[in-house]
Amino acid sequence: MRNMPAVLVVEDEPAIAELIAVNLRHNGFRPTWAMDSVSAQREIEAAVPDLILLDWMLPGESGLSLAKRWRANERTKAVPLIMLTARGDEADRVAGLDAGADDYISKPFSTKELLARVRAVLRRHSPEPSGEAIVIAGLSLDSATHRVSFLEQPLKLGPTEFKLLHYLMGHAERVHSRGQLLDKVWGDHVYIEERTVDVHVKRLREALGAAGPMVETVRGAGYRLTAKPVVPVAVTAREIAG
């Protein structure tokens, strides 16, 4: 759960907040709800989220004022922020963006659009992967040469399996939902079934051979690549024989 992106939802209407939270939770996010500026600031001080969904019209201090304050604070200035509001005029959109919002969604909005915008903003804020080789427990991936090996033995992977492995190795030990993997590996503009991820994970494990168990299934959550040592099958067989 701790590796799921944390989203602070600042919304004073409980029905809307619950709808947003339910959809975020079902799509691999960890939402927290704050109904006004005071509780929102309290949540921020307790833990900085990965993204903030901020309603413009709040009791007390407005969302616009909060956005300006958070952008001026060293601790929160880089946190991705999306404004939610019924104010859809161009002048209001400009004011929200000028206050530091990364994106702006006018009410009413579809949950699919909301999720797409959340993923897009998080993706824009994610650091670009380096071209350096990644080595985890004997499994090596070099993105510059497009080569993969395990215990110095070369492996052959298809292009999709290579991208999938690259992402998993770049975020080792973290659990990724099928939806997250679809967005990161295939792109959120591609509309394919989540079952596709299962198929490619199976192919990836087969291609990795003895390193296949490093790609773990986390029941009810998704997949992760673990750095725990993998004992080759041949070594195990010799030990049993001995």
The reply to whether 93 and 144 lie within a common domain is: no
Is residue 84 included in any domain, yes or no? yes
How many domains does the structure of the chain reveal?
A: 2
Residue 69 maps to a domain: yes
Can you list the pairs that 102-108 forms with residues at least 24 positions away whose Cβ atoms lie under 8 Å?
107/16
173 and 119 in a common domain: no
3-state helix, strand, coil in the chain (%, to 5): 45, 20, 35
Give the structural domain span for 24. 6-125
Query: What is the pLDDT, as a whole number, of residue 232?
Result: 47
User: Both 116 and 140 in a single domain?
Assistant: no
Asked if residues 28 and 180 have their Cβ atoms less than 8 Å apart, the reply is yes
Q: Record the tokens describing residue 165, joined without a space.
A: 């492995």
| Cα–Cα distance, 193 to 213 (Å, whole number) | 24
**Residue 83 belongs to domain with CATH number:** 3.40.50.2300
> pLDDT digits over 161-182, tens only?
898 999 999 998 888 999 888 8
- 220 pLDDT higher than 60: yes
Please tell me the predicted confidence (pLDDT) of residue 143. 87
Last residue of a domain, one of 125, 142, 166: 125
**Would the pLDDT of 242 be above 80?**
no
Q: Are residues 226 and 186 in the same domain?
A: yes
Do 141 and 224 lie in a common domain? yes
Asked whether residue 230 carries a pLDDT value surpassing 50, the answer given is no
Residue 195: the pLDDT is 78
CATH code for the domain of 175: 1.10.10.10
Confidence (pLDDT) at 109: 86
Residues 11 and 117 in one domain: yes
pLDDT of residue 131: 65
Please state whether beta strands 222-225 and 215-218 pair in parallel, antiparallel, or not at all (unpaired).
Answer: antiparallel
What confidence score (pLDDT) does residue 108 get? 84
CA–CA separation, 86 and 149 (whole Å): 53
Fill in the DSSP letter of residue 57: S
230 and 182 fall within a common domain: yes
Buried-state track 54-73, b at ≥16 Cβ within 10 A, e below 16: bbbebeeebbbebbebbeee
Last residue of a domain, one of 125, 153, 177: 125
Both 103 and 12 in one domain: the answer is yes
